[in-house]
Chains A and B, each alone.
Chain A
Amino acid sequence: MKQQLRRTMLYVPGNNPGMIKDAGIYGADCVMFDLEDSVSLNEKDAARFLVYEALTSLDLGDKEHLVRINSLESGLGLADLEAIVHTGKAVIRLPKTETPQDVLECEAQIARIEEAAGLPMGSTKMMAAVESAAGVLNAREIALASPRLIGIAIGAEDYVTDLKTTRSEDGVELLFARSAILLAARVAGIDAIDTVYSDVNNEEGLRKEVQLIRQLGFDGKSIINPRQIGVIHEIYTPTKKDIDHALAVLDAIQEAERKGSGVISLNGKMVDRPIVLRAQRVISLAKESGVLKEGVYAQD
């Protein structure tokens, strides 16, 4: 089974046909059609129809598609779910999740629609976005609320407003939330996705932020402009040095197994379980991102 990369999730306004038809060409790992904040109230229906048509008529390839729905309490979320779940082609991204109950309510509706539509039970995946102080403090319970969840994301703009602050360049105000969400994701065994970086013309700032979230452990980031994809993928792609080391670690394991040795060592250093796991992750990421093909580093 191919591991799904989620380094970049490209937001595409659900009411913009021009952007929807071209969303797949930029090489983002995931495309996320938005029915929520980027669509004004008087265009909600049109956007829902448009996204439904896009999912059912465009050649989506094997790219993961998500749809950010309106919340159930807005009165619009149910219609969104009815339309999108029926396609069987998109992960449902919940906005503004505050409690595990939010996830469960949505899941119950999804299950009902799946059953009515004759879709395999549990086939529709979900992703929760946490955008408030309450949501961050409930992150663990939210992440564990449903086996349908594939990831948990942080939405920073609403969150910092909730905290009575604003976003700063180094993101110190987000440190707790990012850490909390990341830990919750890891406890639940799902992906952690960072918030958008909205200054699309500031490549240096984006670079710094992506280096930070990668170091924290995030799997990827939501993005609002295709121009941000290159930088993020570059930072997330293992370097030749990382890959060479990982390959050496895996070779050492094979060597030890062949010799029947219980202790594995590489260049005189003991290779223990975390090192092996890290090496496996590097190789997996290198393969998925296309720089490692059949054991050969593919970039000159």
Chain B
Amino acid sequence: MRKISLKNIPYLEELHEVNKVFNLKKITKNTRTLAEREVHHNKIVGSLEEAVHRVGLQNGMTISFHHHFRSGDFIINMVIDKLAEMGFRDLVLAASSLTDCHAPLIKHIESGVIRRIETSGLRGRLAEAVSDGLMDVPVVFRSHGGRAGAIEQGDLPIDVAFLGAPSCDPYGNANGYIRDRDEGIMCGSMGYAKSDATHADKVIVITNHIVHYPNTPFAIPESDVDYIVKVDEIGDPAGIMTGATRFTTNPKELLIAELASKVIFASGRFQDGFSFQTGTGGASLAVTRFLRDKMIEKSIRASFALGGITGSIVELHEQGLIKKILDVQSFDLRAAQSLRDNRFHQQISAGYYASPYSEGTAVNQLDVVVLSALEVDTGFNVNVLTGSDGIIRGAIGGHPDTSFGSSVSIIVVPLTRGRIPCVVKNVNTVVTPGKTVDIIVTDHGIAVNPLRKVLRQRMIDNGLPVFTIEELQKKAEQLVGIPKPIEYTDKVVGVVTYRDGSVIDLIYQVKQ
């Protein structure tokens, strides 16, 4: 080998990265086989505790979690229990969402392990406790797009992400399913976890299945992962998802779904190559069925379907009616299996889905979105977060993101639920501003945002039952009367942010 002196290189000072001479002694070739390497050289650590030590978690830091295991999630409770045991305090819990299975967090909030929470939603006992003033620092609610945007921009910096994964290889390539078998925990897309993995300072994957390298195609690449912890159980399959979301047989939901599909046909957006998203909720999901029949009849194919994906969307894809699926969250086993098996069923991150800071974000390419609501008011503002009793019982999800991004946003909501009016003068909590909401579809008729004059005329021309939103509100009032106003204290328990992080509403403690 040539003897090298750096000084012989002209203009060395301009070649910044060229600054040392090769040293053969530093090189040791590893002749171990793949099988041996997987065992002896990997990122797997012996315990959660060890992983926490290694990432250098400290009091007051922000830890993040995803909600792809829904109400079957074991990860959050497992990790916080361990952190409490290790004596951590004042942590910021930034989850993509929290649900009814996270009630055990109450004791960790009371004991000071968790100082504050960031989430898309809260449900069950934890939600009730927060509404009742459990926390000193209000919970910050963000939409899926708003959260991804805040993480990207550094407004919500994550110190350590603890990401549950149904499969992971020894280097951190993690996935929402196990490629070679159907058993085990399957959550399909890991879209919300992807954003955290990309931007968190440290990432710990917690899995119950270490699979062989390479676990491709992967949701999270090894380059984003620092440590892997193997545990026996990461969740309860029954709480994560069921086989296939069944279509509702509730006649009222079907009525609303059929009317919503007629609205889509009349909207001028129902053309070959259109794009759409249907949200959760019986009526919203059932719209797909009515769309299907009309798509076949009119030889119309959708270019893509977006969002939380269900088996009914997969069915349309496999029938050739939807060319591509962009999946940030798989709602049922059928969707998860399709993600694994179908080439044009693409897993996307929360940022790709709905970040407000990218013109190309998927929600901006939507022609039509159909969304549910708890309440809608005469200003077309939508509440998906607090119930008629003022207590938190929902999640923002992608509601404001898709409403803003889509060409036409359609909200499906019954005029009344039992004795509760759902079209009201003022919603309890504004989550999605009325300016971005186009059509309200109820079981008693539809209302079009006065800002959308052409759209309104199209609905009338197609013989749809168009009312003003005030008329619908009065109808609801006539049926069930005016509820007594909810009484609040002056304590703020929740801060509702819009996509850009600005505060759009506050949630107050309900007076007992």
Contacts and interface: CB of A to CB of B under 8 A. Distances in A.
Contact of B251 (A21, A58, A59, A225): A225
Contacts of A26: 251, 255
B249 A22 contact: no
A1 interface: no
Interface string A111-129: 0000000000000000000
23 contacts: A18-B418, A21-B416, A21-B479, A21-B480, A22-B252, A22-B443, A25-B252, A25-B255, A25-B443, A25-B444, A26-B251, A26-B255, A58-B479, A59-B475, A59-B478, A201-B249, A225-B251, A226-B251, A226-B252, A226-B255, A227-B249, A227-B251, A227-B254
| Of listed B252, B418, B443, residue having the most chain A CB within 10 A | B252
A57 to B, nearest CB: 8
Interface of B: 249, 251-252, 254-255, 416, 418, 443-444, 475, 478-480
A58 B478 CA distance: 8
Contacts of B444: 25
A58 B416 CA distance: 14
Interface of A: 18, 21-22, 25-26, 58-59, 201, 225-227
Q: Which residue among A18, A25, A58, A226 has the maximum number of chain B CB atoms within 10 Å of its CB?
A: A25
A83 to B, nearest CB: 21
Nearest to A225: B251
A-B pairs with lowest CB-CB distance, top 5: A226-B251, A25-B443, A227-B251, A21-B479, A25-B444
B443 to A, nearest CB: 5
B255 to A, nearest CB: 6
Given A21-B416, A25-B443, A59-B475, 18 more contacts: A18-B418, A21-B479, A21-B480, A22-B252, A22-B443, A25-B252, A25-B255, A25-B444, A26-B255, A58-B479, A59-B478, A201-B249, A225-B251, A226-B251, A226-B255, A227-B249, A227-B251, A227-B254
A70 B251 CA distance: 28
B498 to A, nearest CB: 34
Residue among B255, B416, B444 having the largest count of chain A Cβ atoms under 10 Å: B255
A18 B443 CA distance: 13
A227 B478 CA distance: 26
Nearest to B259: A25
A25 B414 CA distance: 11
Nearest to A21: B479
Contacts of B418: 18
Nearest to B256: A25
Contacts of A225: 251
Nearest to A57: B478
A225 B250 CA distance: 10
Contacts of A227: 249, 251, 254
A169 to B, nearest CB: 22
Contacts of A59: 475, 478
B418 to A, nearest CB: 6
Contacts of B478: 59
A123 B249 CA distance: 39
Most A C-beta atoms less than 10 A away, residue of B249, B251, B255:
B251
A197 to B, nearest CB: 15
A200 B249 CA distance: 10
B68 to A, nearest CB: 33
A25 B446 CA distance: 13
Nearest to B465: A25
B440 to A, nearest CB: 15
Report which residue of A22, A58, A225, A226 has the largest number of chain B beta carbons within 10 angstroms of its beta carbon.
A22
Contacts of B251: 26, 225-227
Nearest to B444: A25
B250 to A, nearest CB: 9
- Most chain B C-beta atoms within 10 Å of own C-beta, residue among A201, A225, A226: A226
A292 B479 CA distance: 33
A50 to B, nearest CB: 13
A26 B249 CA distance: 14
Contacts of A22: 252, 443
A59 B444 CA distance: 12
A19 to B, nearest CB: 10
Contacts of B252: 22, 25, 226
